[in-house]
Amino acid sequence: MSAIGIAAATPLPAAEAPGEWPMFGHDHTNRNFSDLAGIDRSNVARLRPAWMFQTGVTGYFQAQPVMVDGTLYLSTTQNNVAALDARTGRVLWTYTHKARTEKIFGPPSNRGVAVSGGLVFQATMDGRVIALDAKTGKVAWDHEAVRPEEGETETASGLAQQLGGKPVQGSSRLGFKMPPLVAGGLVIVGVSGAGYGLHVEDEAGGLDGGSVVGIEGGYGRRGWLAAYDAGTGQERWRWYVTKEDGWEGAFSEKTGDGIPLHRDIPAEKAAAPANRQAWRVGGGSLWMTPAFDPDLGLIYVGTGNPAPQNFGLSRPGDNLYTMSLVALDVKTGHLRWYYQQVPHDEWGYDVAAPPFLIDHKGADGPVKAVASASKTGWIYVHDRATGKLLARSAPLIAQKNLFEPPSTTGTVVSPGPLGAVSWPPTAFDAASGLAYAQVRHGAATYTVKTVPAGPDRPEIRYTETGEARAEPSFSTLTAVDLGKGGSIAWSVKSASRLSGGTLATAGGLVFSGEEDGHLDAHDAASGQVLWRFQCGAGISGPAITYSLDGRQYVAVAAGGSSFTKGSGFGTGDALVVFSLPE
């Protein structure tokens, strides 16, 4: 790892110091908003690189940095960590991760660290939760969170043989991608890889060129969120996504907000007795960091798709608590409430984006609320204490055949499994009431296929998910006015696909990254692009801003991802940090 430039620091204090970015999402509200206004509409056009740090690990660079007391902490796709002088990029220390297995879920990626109490916390792709000394980078503790029996259940190579030799990417092993949440002396993190979503590739590479596959049978795992003692690494509680008793739920015919699901309920109920144990491999990955309300003592997190992905015949019922926004007691992990956005999902509509806390304007005054931007194309707003649905925004995309089931002839549905809004965070400005989301417009074709029975195996059924090539595909940066009923304030089409999430500031700016390598600064009131910079590789992680010695900086990782590579854009390894000329 090296720094290219123009004292070691103490870790996160009890209260955030002005100008810091002390955790993922900036603070426990997950709003990705900063009160800094030194860089604003009037001067952002003069923004220039101040320094750059190259990690030496190319590609899949999705991490959001953390800046505490003058030190910037950054993780790489291979779970290496660096501590840098946030003024100059000078390397203070590095940690090189030695994975205990090369078998991981999907493409390698890591989305950031947490810093608290003199320690830097990271959850790794090989299923470990690690604490590093914030001053030296030495390992304080290393806990193997994913046990061997929760490991790999199906190899990509084995699946490729069953599917006629198609190239397959990934495996079904559990691991971690999300930045941990530190709250109440606990390090809280959830596993991904539970929903069994291997990618079948074609010559274009990546998901858009191939498909997500959902295989009938017991190939999934059971997703979970767990809390570890920040001082020792010992597990304090664990909450499993799939409900052991009654995961079939009510066999809902509609979503909670009244949209028909087009399910064959009689067929599902007839199949239920033979599939009572489906919850044991029922999926439910957890993709991104929870929000936290310390007054209520609740954390809010979205859950992923059931397994087998996009193929529901062997998992009758609503598949609780997959595809849900859930509220858990931070001290015990007990479920307080849930709202299932898509019962019995067959389209890959994970509740993947980080929830964020807002004050909702109710009829009787403000209501403490939590908002969730969805893949289905809406932003939902719930009462934080009860989960009651308070509001739903206007659609962010043009939906088509929503919730029509996969078929043998192929069903075209918009949005596809990549969104509307996927895991990248949505920024929220409480003063204006505007939420800023990167929205992907596009459709997918969901096709049920069959591999005939062989000498040593039965017939295999699966759903193949491919891009609907006749449908338009593009991205917009969209501002949603949550203070005015969720109406669309403005929407701006981007030059290439948007990725990584948004950052909003009190300077009236919204920063948004593109897969072609551009970092853009938009006018928060109108969406007008005021500044662009080519970072050299796709932006697939959220930017941050911080201030030191009266000077404001903006930092973003530029490394790309499997999707940017598949679209013809290069990968890289650089953290690029900007400021105004002195």
pLDDT tens digit sequence for 495-505:
999 999 999 99
Q: Per-residue pLDDT tens for 404-439?
A: 999 999 999 999 988 899 999 999 999 999 999 999
Asked whether the predicted pLDDT for residue 10 surpasses 50, the reply is no
The residues, ordered by sequence, that sit 6+ positions from 194 with a Cβ below 8 Å of its Cβ are: 174, 220, 221, 222, 223, 224, 241, 283, 284, 285, 304, 307
Q: Which pLDDT belongs to residue 207?
A: 40
Q: Per-residue pLDDT tens for 249-261?
A: 999 999 999 999 9
* Nearest partner of 73 among 25, 35, 142, 122, judged by Cα: 122
Cα 377 from chain centroid (whole Å) = 16
Asked whether the predicted pLDDT for residue 202 surpasses 50, the reply is no
Q: Quick one: CA dihedral 11, 28, 39, 576, positive or negative?
A: positive
Greater confidence (14 vs 557) lies with 557
Check if the beta carbon of residue 379 is closer than 8 Å to that of residue 392.
yes
Q: Which pLDDT belongs to residue 65?
A: 98
DSSP strand pairing (574-579 vs 551-558): antiparallel
The residues, ordered by sequence, that sit 6+ positions from 455 with a Cβ below 8 Å of its Cβ are: none
Q: Which pLDDT belongs to residue 460?
A: 76
Asked whether the predicted pLDDT for residue 579 surpasses 50, the reply is yes
Greater confidence (462 vs 130) lies with 130
Asked whether the predicted pLDDT for residue 565 surpasses 80, the reply is no
Q: Which pLDDT belongs to residue 188?
A: 98
In this structure, what DSSP letter does residue 31 have?
-
CA dihedral 563, 499, 557, 553 (to 10 degrees): 170
Mean pLDDT of all residues in 215-229: 83
pLDDT range class, residue 311, cuts 50, 70, 90: confident
Mean pLDDT of all residues in 164-174: 61
Q: Which pLDDT belongs to residue 205?
A: 39
Check if the beta carbon of residue 72 is closer than 8 Å to that of residue 16.
no
| Least confident among 97-111, 190-204, 223-237 | 190-204
Q: Per-residue pLDDT tens for 324-366?
A: 999 999 999 999 999 999 999 999 999 999 999 999 998 889 9
Q: Which pLDDT belongs to residue 2?
A: 37
pLDDT range class, residue 453, cuts 50, 70, 90: confident
Total residue count of the chain as it appears in this document:
582
> How far lies 561's CA from each of 61, 369, 456, 564, in Å?
7, 33, 38, 5
Q: Per-residue pLDDT tens for 138-148?
A: 999 999 999 76
Asked whether the predicted pLDDT for residue 306 surpasses 90, the reply is yes
Spatial strand order of the sheet with 224-229 comes to 181-183, 186-190, 224-229, 235-240
Structure tokens at 465: 């998910």
Residues 202 and 172: their CA atoms lie apart, in Å, by 20
Cα 286 from chain centroid (whole Å) = 8
Greater confidence (61 vs 167) lies with 61
Q: What is the mean pLDDT of the chain?
A: 89
Residue in the block written with tokens 């109710």: 362
The full 3-state SS of 174-238, as one line of letters, equals CECCCCCEEECCEEEEECECCCCCEEECCCCCHHHHCEEEEECCCCCCECEEEEEECCCCCEEEE
The residues, ordered by sequence, that sit 6+ positions from 503 with a Cβ below 8 Å of its Cβ are: 32, 33, 34, 427, 510, 511, 512, 542, 543, 544, 545, 554
Asked whether the predicted pLDDT for residue 151 surpasses 90, the reply is no
pLDDT range class, residue 475, cuts 50, 70, 90: very high
Q: Which pLDDT belongs to residue 455?
A: 76
Mean pLDDT of all residues in 440-445: 94
The three-state secondary structure class of 565 is helix
pLDDT range class, residue 283, cuts 50, 70, 90: very high
How much is the pTM? 0.93
Asked whether the predicted pLDDT for residue 149 surpasses 80, the reply is no
Please state, for a pLDDT cut of 70, what percent of the chain lies above it. 86
The three-state secondary structure class of 267 is helix
Greater confidence (408 vs 452) lies with 408
Residues 225 and 328: their CA atoms lie apart, in Å, by 10
Greater confidence (418 vs 482) lies with 482
In this structure, what DSSP letter does residue 78 have?
T
In this structure, what DSSP letter does residue 158 have?
H
Residues 100 and 143: their CA atoms lie apart, in Å, by 12
Mean pLDDT of all residues in 538-555: 96
Mean pLDDT of all residues in 267-281: 94
Check if the beta carbon of residue 339 is closer than 8 Å to that of residue 354.
no
